[in-house]
Every structure is written in structure tokens, then in C-alpha cells.
Amino acid sequence: MTLSAAGRVGLAGAAVVGVAFGMARYAYGLTLPAVRQDLGLSEVVLGLVASATFAGYLAGLLLAGPLAARRGPRACTSVGGGCGALGAVVVAAAPSPGWLAAGAVLAGSAGGWAWAPYSDIVTRTVPVPRRSRALALVTTGTSGGLVLLGALAVLALSGSWRLVWAGVAVAAVGAAVVNLLLVPPLAPPARSPRRTAGPGATTGLVGRLRVPLAYSLVYFAVVVVYFTYAADLLAGGDVPAAVPALYAAVGLSGVVALATGTFARRLGSARVAALSLVTVGLALTLLALAGTSLTATVVSAGTFGVGYMTGSAVLAVWTAEVVPARAGAAFTVCLVVGALTSVAAPALAGALIPTLGLGPLLLGTAGVSLLGGAALLVPRRSRAAPGPPVG
């Protein structure tokens, strides 16, 4: 059976993003308790390393644009696969905190290299009626990556946390091969005077993306806190399978994000984004109150998976709707803002935990997410009342 263009690109994107974003970027949070014990790191150092991984992600985002302009978007996804594989190998063999940080930063950059270029790949290879579905499929690949990460965590229960990172390296190589086989080597986008980069062009893009940018600011901050510290909260319990169950539940429930394109068409992308923030806020509240209960943890993770994956997919759909001619650039701008908050959030959390405790920190983060969802809905209603929507 021959796959359609949407099927080929969607499958390749799901594999690459699933490994780069769902595994390489979040494996650090999953292995954090064991890393602390093995290498004897403090909360402050652990928080700084977590922030550094998102700094790597930010670097990948910023460097992907120039590379795509010279070599085409597939080159960025290939570099992302290579960074994920090499970084995971370095972490798996890390003898010291310095090597751990270097490998984690390189692995963390994989998502930055790979994710946004797929918006351009989809818009250039997939017919308009199927684009939102293909974009949702690419983003929802993260769910598969998280399920696989949970399986690796089960394997590591009887061995070392380093097995998780070795598994990430193997998966990254496999995804890179799928990417080369299924995605055509697209030429760099043609340059034109109207699309020349400059302050005016950037300002105009940001102006059109005001609401998605505000959403990105809150969404990425609350998501990174959940992923960085959820495993840490559960590690002290009496149920060793709690951490793998957490990641598997997030991945499995996140499959609902495959319908994000349909949700966006019926409700509007802004409303879907707002509901995602509310769902993540509820999941953070449940996690903070769950203690070491496996049942409560699975409920929290399942709730979080719906909000996290739908919230991620809707950002790709939303930016492509707002700026269809520059979908990759629009998505990158929002991801850069999200990366900046992702860099700051773990470091800030690591500094606050010794004073507040992890539970109160999670509750405070939940409050931010809930307020963000409410704030996102209010201005949309007030702007819609005076006249017809701007299209």
C-alpha cells in the first residue's frame, strides 16, 4: 500500500518529533532522581542542568532557520536526529556532571532543530485540506515517544538510568533513517523582496501572533515544570512502577491530540489552547495532591497528556492558520518564546523548592496555568463582540 504525501510526511515527522521532543527532551526529568543519587547533585545544580537542556533547544530553534534557508527544511530534521543520538550517547556514558550537562544540552537541542521545520515541510508537500491533520500527526508523535520512554524506564528499574539514555540514542538513529526515507529533499525556499528578513518583517510577524505568543509563554512554563519534577515527586514512594506509569499514561492519553485539527475547526484554535491550559492546571493540582499514590498519579498523567499534547498540536495548527505563507517562521517565533520560559522555569523552580517544597510549587504552577487559560478566553470574547472576526 502506497502512503499519500500527508501519510509519509506525517509518519516521518511523528517519528522524528516523537524521539527528539518526547524522549530526548524529557528523559532528563525521568532520570533526574537516579542521576541525583548516582552523581550526588544538589537541587540547584539539577535545576540549572534542566534549564541548560532547554537552552540547547533554544539554540536549535535559532539555528534551524538559517540552515533551512541554505539546505532546505529536511536538513534541519536530519541534524536534529543526529543531535538527539549523539547527545543521548554522551549522557549514557557521562562520568561527571559536566559531561552529563553537555550531553543533555545536545540531546535537548534535537527538538529545536526538528519540530518547526516540519511546518514548512507539511505546507510545501501536503494539500491544504489535509494539512491540519498532518500537523497534528507530527506533533502527536510525542505521545509515542513518551510511551517508549516509559517502557525504557521499566527496563531501567532493574538496571541503571543510563539504559534509558542508551535507548533514546537507538530510537533517534531509527527516526533519522525514517526521516531520510520518507521526506523528500526539498530545496531552500525562494527568496523575494517581500520576505527579506529585517526588523519590520519580524515586528509584523510578532504583531500577528500576539495571542499565540502569550499562550506559548504560559504553556511551555507550566509543562516543563510538570515534566521536570513529576518523576522526582514519585521517586520517594513505595511503587517503583509509578514513574514509568506516569510517562506511559501521558503518552497514551495524548493520542487524543490527533483530533486537534477537528477541535480547532469547530471551537477555534484559541479556545482549544485555553482548554489545554485549564486541563494542564488540573493535572498539576492532582499531581501535587497525589503524593505517592499510583492511582492518583495515573489520573493526573492521563489528564496532563490530553492538555499537553492537544496544547502542543494546536500551536502548530494555530500559527499555520494565522500566517500560512510563513508557517515555519511563525511556529518558530512562538517556540522561541516558549523555549525562553522553559529555560527560566526549571532554574527558578530549583531555587524555590528548598524554601517552598515541591508540592506547593506544583500548586502555584497549576494556578498560573488555570489563570492563563481563563485570560486567553476573555479577550477573545471581548474582541469578537463589536464586529466580524478578522480573517
| Res. 390 pLDDT band, cuts 50 70 90 | very low
- CA gap 187, 171 in Å, rounded: 27
For the ranges 132-141, 303-312, 326-335, the one whose mean pLDDT is highest:
303-312
Res 66 pLDDT > 80: yes
Who has greater pLDDT, 234 or 70?
70
Could you write out the DSSP letters of every residue in 192-209? -GGG--SHHHHHHHHHHT
Averaged pLDDT for residues 64-68: 89
Least confident of 257-266, 291-300, 353-362: 291-300
Burial class (CB in 10 A: 0-12, 13-18, 19+), 196: exposed
Structure-block grid coordinates of residue 379: 479577550
Helix axis angle for 128-156 and 260-267, nearest 10°, is 130
Residue with cell 504560559: 218
Residue spans of the domains in the chain: they are 5-182+202-382
Give the pLDDT confidence score for residue 85 in this predicted structure.
Answer: 93
- The winner for highest mean pLDDT among 30-34, 59-63, 150-154 is 59-63
- Mean predicted lDDT score pLDDT of the chain: 83
Q: What pLDDT is recorded for position 49?
A: 85
pLDDT band at 272; cut points 50, 70, 90: very high
Cα four-point dihedral sign 381, 383, 385, 390: negative
| Statement: residue 23 has pLDDT above 70 | yes
- pLDDT at position 284 is 94
Q: What is the pLDDT of residue 15?
A: 92
Is the pLDDT at 79 greater than 80? The verdict is yes
In percent, the amount of the chain with pLDDT more than 90 equals: 27
Average pLDDT of the segment spanning 185-211? 65
What is the domain class of 5-182+202-382 according to CATH? mainly alpha
User: What pLDDT score was predicted for residue 103?
Assistant: 94
Q: What is the mean pLDDT of residues 40-68?
A: 84
CB 351 within 8 A of CB 226: no
Question: For 222-251, what is the mean pLDDT?
Answer: 76
Please report which confidence band the pLDDT of residue 391 belongs to, taking 50, 70 and 90 as the band edges. Answer: very low
Smallest CA-to-CA distance from 320 within 134, 141, 190 is with 134
Q: Can you give the pTM of this predicted structure?
A: 0.76
- Per-residue pLDDT tens over the stretch 308-321: 999 988 998 898 88
Least confident stretch, 175-179, 210-214, 331-335, 365-369: 331-335
- CB count in 10 Å sphere of residue 236: 11
Give the mean pLDDT of 222-243: 73
Tens digit of each residue's pLDDT (9 = 90 or more) over 101-158: 999 999 989 988 987 788 788 888 888 778 878 888 888 888 889 889 888 888 777 7
- The residue that leads in pLDDT, 327 or 210, is 210
